Chains A and B, each alone.
Chain A
């Protein structure tokens, strides 16, 4: 699964830090970028690279919710159901998607395209209700818009995120970004959405 080139990348990740063990989290993101989730092979490789025990790696891997123990979809959809988004419609969106996709929380569609998870507050409350796909923002969603979103994912042509790159990267591609690999797409997309700019705009209007 992991090529010599991967090992070189992983070595460069370790070298970012004064102490190698600090690299465990980006390495696990990198494992997900190759394998889609944290595989046994990945855990054993990370343990070997960091010269720590496998138990220590799995202790870390199981603590953080972004590390997946089984494959997720090519597009992993997270619906914020923390209080504010839930009240504003997140609960309806999540229920609607479960029904529409025929899967439960943490489920994956049979075609492997879409997986679904209810998530906690994703720091975009002024864009509520928020849906994340592969950890890109889809702001101000409705039940219908989120259904359309997953339909387009299953057809292979999801729209661009509201605030993100010009097209939606795959789960694995974005996992590499979280491992600190620059995909050259930082300049894509808006600098900010309207709510972010609202105060500035109003102050310029003298309000």
Chain B
């Protein structure tokens, strides 16, 4: 394996030193404080954080050091000093000087601290509280006047700051600058009045702001979501996987009495390190929303949905599906195991390959690209770490896969990684990466891709929106093959990669088995103990909708799809009315409103499962909420299959996981790929433009429902046009423009900025800018742009 080889060739210089009388060997460059950790010696600290540059500000970690017999004249901050051969370190455990120095600093840190632990959210999990107990003294000699500030102040609608509790370790400001490149919070004033703050007109609206709360070593930073809600010792913590995007974050979900109260970033050095984005952290109320579906419903003779029993509902679903020409639509949010359930259910119970996980604008080019190049592939975050050049195509990392953004940013800061972005509008995120921006007209991406030169050490990160530009994915495949560059497909939703591997798409069976490959079908059929699996190439989401409307299909099984995410929402609505629909959902939706049978399913925190991130690696999780009565999709599908007499034998998530593992990856030939030519652009009239867009991280996404504090930090909803267009239609930044086509229109305030003259940009799914439902197109379609 290549990884083993590269590990073997990475020679690490080890340095041996003595700490408190114990010898320890650590890699060269290791800081003394971490070498001590290796021995289990905890040196107290506040400003130190392994993922931030050393700063040596709090002075809590002072130790005595001598090197080859020469002692430093004064105690040194162990968080800033790298180990050296012959170093002898004495921590508070063996040096009176270090012990007194630490006790002295602790006393100083506490003189202006309010000591309001009983009412502080951090109480019980507070590094200041803990270390004051372990390394401080019981009594303070301070009899003077404490510094007081008005408290708390809002840094954003989500983040609050209590300046009196702050110990000025600058972890938050350093995170914002060094990791997120969002220096919206800074240290202000100086001396004893130094304080963290924002500029009064610019709140702390960073997509990563929540991390500052998590790394705050005191209760200075709190979130509007969790503030005053719980005591840490009342919470039950479960490791979990983030369901919001394909970055693949490790998370921790904290639950009290069955209710999720907060989610924190977990620590996975290979993926999210110790960070996550604010959506992953704070968008979880949808799970406990009051309108959560909890009981099955069946539409009665009067056309009303009525609550029924599970056996009746399952029977009704089976009755409706039995003998019908049915297809499956499964949204990109299903877990790997659930997606596998839908995939097997379609083939075995419904006898069809008509299944598509892509609840978004798609193309056949993409379907073929995924089968030929993505399924089973394994580019990783480490490839970004090593790349000489990263090319972004149809992909906005900060908006669409924030942890990929953080990794890119880390490498840009660490070693000036070269990043190029091919896109229609320069984004804030791409600008922060200092990327070379290759500006194209919507739909003209392919030519720009072809003109890039990469090496075998480069990596192309291509987003799901590349499917919206004909020829773009073909150009990516060609560029990679010419240059030897790696590429990775990074979908937005957490479940898409898993669904692809599970075969929840018309041209693939589970494990990357091509539908068109007879050997692959036989292999699967024998594994499933069925006579055969369907042979025809399955329909795409859009084709399934059309087939229902044209009468070729008569039933749909729909799991977690929002019709407003599709570029054919009107057709979808009518198809949902026309077909017999079985809906597996967590909350009422446009689908459940039209469904014949509604089956409530478990949300991620209520079930076990796994998500495959964009690299194809899985993060499994257990149910965070013990004893949830809600069932996973795969369990329910198994029940329907049983009722249909076509058993799929996936009664539990673990059964599905075991079966996926035993099936393995198809080792036969990959599906072939035929390049799709780029389309040439039609000439535009003076008031016409090509629409282009992406989804903002924080927008009208279903899983963000009810998160008002989080929504308050979203970026402004604006449309963007070029200076030339602005002049021609007579608008300046701040005016309103109308973007319209035959289907509808949106009216938005305009920002005049550097964007292709042929383009107009607007967020894809923000309030007032719901492009897919209002215009039916979000990239490349011709729209009329006029002053509103």
Contact = CB atoms under 8 A, between A and B. Distances in A.
B190 interface: yes
A62 B184 contact: no
A58 B183 contact: no
A104 interface: no
Contacts of A17: none
B302 interface: no
B188 A58 contact: yes
A54 B189 contact: no
A55 B190 contact: no
B190 A54 contact: no
B189 A53 contact: no
Given A40-B201, A43-B199, A58-B199, A53 B188 contact: no
Could you say which of A40, A56, A58 has the most chain B C-beta atoms within 10 Å of its C-beta?
A: A58
A184 B198 CA distance: 39
A54 B202 CA distance: 7
B655 interface: no
Contacts of A43: 199
B183 A63 contact: no
B201 A53 contact: no
B190 to A, nearest CB: 5
Contacts of B187: 59
A59 B185 CA distance: 9
B183 A55 contact: yes
A27 interface: no
A33 B183 CA distance: 27
B186 interface: yes
A128 B184 CA distance: 44
B13 interface: no
A173 interface: no
Contact of A63 (B190, B197, B199): B190
Nearest to B173: A59
A54 B184 CA distance: 8
Contact of B200 (A40, A59, A63): A40
A80 interface: no
B189 A55 contact: no
Contacts of A52: 183
Contacts of B188: 58-59, 62-63
A43 B202 CA distance: 12
A173 B182 CA distance: 36
Interface in A45-73: 52-59, 62-63
A192 to B, nearest CB: 33
A53 B197 CA distance: 13
Contacts of B200: 40, 58
A2 B198 CA distance: 24
Contacts, number: 38
Interface in B142-196: 182-190
A63 B197 CA distance: 13
Interface residues of A, number: 13
A42 to B, nearest CB: 12
B588 to A, nearest CB: 42
Could you say which of B186, B197, B198 has the most chain A C-beta atoms within 10 Å of its C-beta?
A: B186
Contacts of A62: 188-190
A44 interface: yes
What is the size category of the interface that chain B forms with chain A? Answer: 10 to 19
Could you say which of A43, A54, A57 has the most chain B C-beta atoms within 10 Å of its C-beta?
A: A54
Interface in A132-188: none
A56 B198 CA distance: 9
Interface string B197-224: 1111110000000000000000000000
A53 B202 contact: yes
Contacts of B186: 55-56, 58-59
A44 B200 CA distance: 11
A122 B190 CA distance: 20
Nearest to A63: B190
A55 B204 CA distance: 9
Nearest to B191: A63
Contacts of A63: 188-190
B190 A53 contact: no
Could you say which of A43, A52, A57, A63 has the most chain B C-beta atoms within 10 Å of its C-beta?
A: A63
Contact of B184 (A40, A44, A55): A55
A53 B203 CA distance: 11
Contacts of A44: 201
A40 B199 CA distance: 9
B552 to A, nearest CB: 56
B168 to A, nearest CB: 13
B734 to A, nearest CB: 15
A122 B701 CA distance: 60
Interface in A73-129: none
Contacts of A56: 183, 186
A53 B199 CA distance: 9
Contacts of B183: 52-53, 55-56
Nearest to B200: A40
A1 to B, nearest CB: 16
Contacts of B182: 53
A57 B199 contact: yes
A58 B183 CA distance: 11
A25 to B, nearest CB: 15
B727 to A, nearest CB: 20
Interface in B566-605: none
A69 to B, nearest CB: 10
Contacts of B185: 55
Contacts of B202: 53-55
Nearest to B431: A51
Contacts of B199: 43, 53-55, 57-58
A27 B198 CA distance: 20
Contacts of A55: 183-186, 197-199, 202
Could you say which of A53, A54, A55, A62 has the most chain B C-beta atoms within 10 Å of its C-beta?
A: A55
A43 B198 CA distance: 13
Could you say which of A40, A44, A56, A59 has the most chain B C-beta atoms within 10 Å of its C-beta?
A: A59
A25 B198 CA distance: 19
A159 B511 CA distance: 90
B142 to A, nearest CB: 25
A70 to B, nearest CB: 14
A54 B200 CA distance: 9
A45 to B, nearest CB: 13
B161 to A, nearest CB: 13
Contacts of B201: 40, 44, 54
A101 to B, nearest CB: 26
B435 to A, nearest CB: 15
A111 B752 CA distance: 44
Nearest to B187: A59
B194 to A, nearest CB: 9
Contacts of B190: 62-63
Nearest to B177: A56
Nearest to A51: B431
Nearest to A40: B201
B625 to A, nearest CB: 39
Nearest to A65: B190
A62 B187 CA distance: 9
A72 B776 CA distance: 58
Contacts of A53: 182-184, 199, 202
26 contacts: A40-B200, A43-B199, A44-B201, A52-B183, A53-B183, A53-B199, A53-B202, A55-B184, A55-B185, A55-B186, A55-B197, A55-B198, A56-B183, A56-B186, A57-B199, A58-B186, A58-B197, A58-B199, A58-B200, A59-B186, A59-B187, A59-B188, A62-B188, A62-B190, A63-B188, A63-B190
Given A55-B183, A58-B197, 19 more contacts: A40-B200, A43-B199, A44-B201, A53-B182, A53-B184, A53-B202, A54-B199, A54-B202, A55-B184, A55-B185, A55-B197, A55-B202, A57-B199, A58-B188, A58-B199, A59-B186, A62-B188, A62-B189, A63-B188
Interface of A: 40, 43-44, 52-59, 62-63
Interface of B: 182-190, 197-202
Of all A-B residue pairs in the complex, the 5 with the closest CB atoms, nearest first, are A59-B186, A54-B199, A55-B199, A62-B188, A58-B199
